[in-house]
Structure 1
Amino acid sequence: MATPPDAVHGPGAPGDAFEVHLSNFTGPFDLLLSLIAKHRLDITEIALAQVTDEFIAYIRAAERDLGTTSEFLLVAATLLDLKAARLLPAGDVEDAEDLELLEARDLLFARLLQYRAYKQLAGVFAERLDIESRRVPRDVALEPHLAALLPELEWTTSPADLAALAAAALAPKPPPPGVDTTHLHAPTVSVREQAAVVVALLRGPSGDHVGPVSFRTIVAGAATPGVVVARFLALLELFREGVVAFDQVTPLGELTVRWTGATQGEVSVQGDFDDPVAVEAVPGEAVHHG
């Protein structure tokens, strides 16, 4: 079979490329792939077994590398799958299995086109590398009229200056400043002491009930978050003793506390926070009622 005049072998193709000799085609293997891709040659008319035998003889005669063999095996496997898929009758699709075979045929044809594109691109890269390898950079001295424009080097650093710089660079570094950790240890806040403050606030200065007091007011005079927590725990202990009551009109609303215990006398606060102790109202405690 004569080679078509519009066939393209791709850039960088070697002169001793693998050729096939079939009953319906004689020429380079790349040209065979090109004709199959352009639908000018039916894959079902190609004797792939004969192509494989000729390639085996080709690599044995020239002792080709493993890359050439692997490349041919990939293309041959694709052609074999494509030929098997093309043997499916082109009639109506009767079931899902036939549809899958048709989709596989299209996929194999796409793989063949993809291989051809990569091969041509590799040829372009090879040609560019060959051209660029012939380029030689210009390596000459600076021209005299340009060398005359360079300023004279003036060395102004004395040996003493160099010694001072070296001493400063090699001098031991001072240790980093220490970190003060005293702020990490907050003073302990006594729950029983804060309970006395809460009792004095709820009872009032004269012992009569001052009415509901908001929790915000109870912790308003707290100097630290620890005092707020201690007063909250004191309220829980007083509630367990039954001397205070909590009111909250709406969910997440303002929490108010009412004194329900005796107006005078000591209040026993027992808990896990401090030792059991009888708490009295702290006289003279400055509080703000809310």
Structure 2
Amino acid sequence: MELPPAPTGADAVSPQAIDGVVMARLYGEPLFAMPNDLYIPPDALEVFLEAFQGPLDLLLYLIRKQNFNILDIPMADVTRQYLRYVDQIRKHNLELAADYLLMAAMLIEIKSRMLLPPKKTDEGQEAEDPRAELVRRLLEYEQMKLAAARIDQMPVLGRDYLRAQVTIEQAIAPRFPDVEVADIRDAWADIMRRAKLHQHHRITREQLSVREYMGMVLRRLQGERFVEFRDMFDVTRGHSVMVVTFIAMLELARERLLELTQAEAFAPIYVRLAYQPS
């Protein structure tokens, strides 16, 4: 029986490595022991269990954690625990500890004032509890902290939900601009100016019916897709006929039997039947 060839190169493993335990791999190569020149910084393995926003946050945490009455704070116990935490901060970040040291000095001052016999005010009243100002600050801070927590729990765009976007495909249909009253007035004034060119000095009495001319306008538009507004008037028949025709067209437009439209702003006005397909 022939034995398989022995591994060579990267596949070969020394007898000592076979009995060892691989601790890690560096660039694909197994490490069976820690390098002698390996340096681990002291701060690399630090673990911060609590992160506080400031001295008041730390002080409130110590009070609430031990169920102390915030209106009757045991200053000795709280100050002792507070100073223990400040000592830990001073070892690593002296600048950060400055604010905490100021609060520690305030706690020590309050405790010292509590040890002295109380003095009455000039009015003969009992002096205020040395802890009163600190209690007020703690209660205000706790209210603001709870309010900030409630605001943070509210849904936030981009964090808790995304704005829905819907694309609606609309049919490509031309929308003609609405005809303004001023445009109709200008068109009517232009027709009246043209009518003056065909004036006759003939005085007659003619009975004109708006309802009759409404029917004439409808018959004029039958079978027509669009008719220019100015072509709806017969300037040779005088002002009275044009006035009645104009009133008839306004009545038809009010009853939604007639449509006035333009191709674009300041363009000529066109007339068509409202029920006729475009």
Compute the TM-score of the two structures, normalised by the length of structure 1.
0.31
Bigger RCO (CA 8 Å, 6+ sep): 1
Compute the TM-score of the two structures, normalised by the length of structure 2.
0.32
